Amino acid sequence: MRFLVTGGAGFIGCNFVRHMLKEHPGDRIVVLDKLTYAGRLENLEPIMDRITFVKGDICDKDVVKNAMDGCDAVINFAAESHVDRSITSPEDFVTTDVIGVFTLLEEARRRDVKRFVQISTDEVYGSTVSGSFSEKDILDPSSPYSASKAGGELLARSYVRTYGLDVIVTRSSNNYGPFQYPEKLIPVLVVKALRDQPLPIYGKGMNVRDWLHVEDNCRAIDLVLQKAKAGDIVNIGSGNEVPNIEVAKLILRHMKKPESLITYVQDRPGHDFRYSLEWERLKALGWTPKVRFEEGLKSTVDWYLANRAWWEPLL
């Protein structure tokens, strides 16, 4: 099989490429990535000779046409992904997360690729105080980021019914692990703590996220790629619901830093209170999360401590 992995130089994408090379060494992987601020060639450095890398934009028809040439399946990770940036500059989000998906879908249907996996997010459901979202729940996104992701996945799903394209949508909860850009909560907290700087926590720190280790997500996406049915939507949660303030305290404890570093800052506009997923469909395919949050968090903190040369130039 030959796969086109878009956004493969970003956080989840580069972990997925590594996962696929390890688990399916006979398969060929083409990575298409624009190398925005979030995409870095260094993330692929040790495996560069085992993949084909194309620098380019998923909104560019010619680039997409060439990159998809000979590919059996497409896994689309490419996106603008940071909620705070979507509040200040929403246009890039609509462009990449909707028009980019459209450009990929058009080429995929022209070539009749065997499978198209659109990587979406639990944020498309919006916030909930209690209970967990199933794949049948309505979409109620709050930010320009989640609304653009919802637009991209709805378009992708329309290609199943309209053109018979084999599309699958995954909606995962918040990922954490190595190679995450230091603007997302966990790396921000680790980097600040290491420098004895205040750890910024939105509002009262009670917003809850269900933390999914990136390796568990990659295993789930691989499984979905092999086993899900055309048109399936698949939630990927982990059962690790933790308020942000607890995440900060766990990091400080592991790094032996004082809790007095925690500083509450003005809340993000439209900040979703809690995301929560059920993942019965994925369970039925044979997946369960393997990484317990406290262990995954410790190994992630240790990765950032051991890889200062990776994140320091980004600050």
Query: In angstroms, rounded to a whole number, what is the distance separating the alpha carbons of residues 43 and 53?
Result: 12
Q: Which of 181, 275, 279, 287 binds ligand NAD (CB under 6 A)?
A: 181
Look up residue 261 and give its DSSP letter: G
Measured from the CB atom, the residue of 98 and 261 that comes closer to ligand NAD is 98
Residue 116 as a binder of ligand NAD (CB under 6 A): the answer is: no
Q: Tokens representing 265?
A: 């800052």
Q: Which of 75, 100, 142, 153 binds ligand NAD (CB under 6 A)?
A: 100
**Environment class of 176 (CB within 10 Å of its CB; exposed 0-12, middle 13-18, buried 19+):** buried
Give catalytic status of residue 33 as yes or no.
no
Residue 103 as a binder of ligand NAD (CB under 6 A): the answer is: no
Query: In angstroms, rounded to a whole number, what is the distance separating the alpha carbons of residues 246 and 257?
Result: 14
Q: For ligand NAD, what does the binding mask look like between residues 51 and 90, x meaning CB under 6 A?
A: ------xxx-----------------xxxxx---------
Number of H helices, E strands in the chain: 12, 13
Residues 6 or more apart whose Cβ sits within 8 Å of residue 313:
none
Residue 7 as a binder of ligand NAD (CB under 6 A): the answer is: yes
Residue 264 has phi, psi (to 5 degrees) of -85, 135
Residue 240 as a binder of ligand NAD (CB under 6 A): the answer is: no
Q: Angle 184-36-85 (CA atoms, 0-180°, nearest 5)?
A: 45
Count of C-beta atoms within a 10 Å radius of residue 295:
11
Residue 94 as a binder of ligand NAD (CB under 6 A): the answer is: no
Measured from the CB atom, the residue of 139 and 261 that comes closer to ligand NAD is 139
Q: For ligand NAD, what does the binding mask look like between residues 25 and 54, x meaning CB under 6 A?
A: --------xxxx-xx---------------
Q: Which residues bind ligand NAD (CB under 6 A)?
A: 6-7, 9-13, 33-36, 38-39, 57-59, 77-81, 96, 100, 119, 121, 149, 172, 174-175, 181
Residues noted as catalytic: 122-123, 145
